[in-house]
Amino acid sequence: MELDSLYQEVILEHYKRPQNKGLLPNQTVQVHHVNTSCGDEITLNLKLTNGVISEISWDGVGCSISQASTSVVSELLKGKSSDAALSVIETFQAMLQSKGSDRGDESILEDGVAFAGVAKFPARVKCALLGWMATKDAISQSLALTGNNAKKEQK
C-alpha cells in the first residue's frame, strides 16, 4: 500500500502515540466494534455532557490504520457538540467511500485527511472507518439515553 509520505507520517505518529487511549471510567455509553476482515477491535467510552462530547477514551488492538484512525477521531471530536461531531463523521465517511476522488477537507477533518489515500484500498477502508463508526454508534446511543434523562440532568 502506497500512501503519501507526509500522510504516512501522520498515521505512524498517531499509531505510536495514540491520543485518548486507555478507557476512562465515567462514560455515558461503551461500545465495542470489530472489523473481522482484518482483526481490528475497538472498545470506546463516550461521555456526553449537555449535548457536548466531553470525553472520548478507547482501547483497542489491530492494524496501524485502525488504531491511528481511532486516535484521530477521538482527538478531533472531543469538545464538539453531538450534531457537529456526526457531521464530521459523515464527511470522513464520504471521503473513505469516494475510492480516492475526495481528498478530504483539512479544515474539517484535520489529521483525518491523512486517510484519504486509504480509500483506494477497499480492503482497508473498514480499518480506517472502525473507530469513526464506533464513535457514531456511541453518540447515537448517548443521545437516546440522555434524551430520556434530560430533565433529571437540569436539576
Rounded-to-integer distance, Cα 138 and Cα 133, Å: 8
Closer residue to Zn ion in complex, CB, 29/42:
42
| Closest CA relative to residue 126, chosen from 17, 53, 35, 51 | 35
Contact call for residue 143 and Zn ion (CB under 5 A): no
Which of 127, 129, 138, 139 binds Zn ion (CB under 5 A)? It is 127
Q: Which grid cell is 33?
A: 466494534
Which of 34, 38, 52, 108 binds Zn ion (CB under 5 A)? It is 38
Contact call for residue 66 and Zn ion (CB under 5 A): yes
State the minimum distance, in angstroms, from the CB of residue 89 to Zn ion: 18
Contact call for residue 34 and Zn ion (CB under 5 A): no
State the minimum distance, in angstroms, from the CB of residue 113 to Zn ion: 19
Contact call for residue 52 and Zn ion (CB under 5 A): no
| Contacting residues for 124 by C-beta, under 8 A, at least 6 apart | 1, 38, 63, 65, 118
Contact call for residue 53 and Zn ion (CB under 5 A): no
Let me know: does 48 contact 32? Beta carbons within 8 Å: no
Which of 40, 69, 114, 139 binds Zn ion (CB under 5 A)? It is 40
Distance of CA 12 to the CA centre of its chain: 16
Closer residue to Zn ion in complex, CB, 61/145:
61
Let me know: does 98 contact 119? Beta carbons within 8 Å: yes
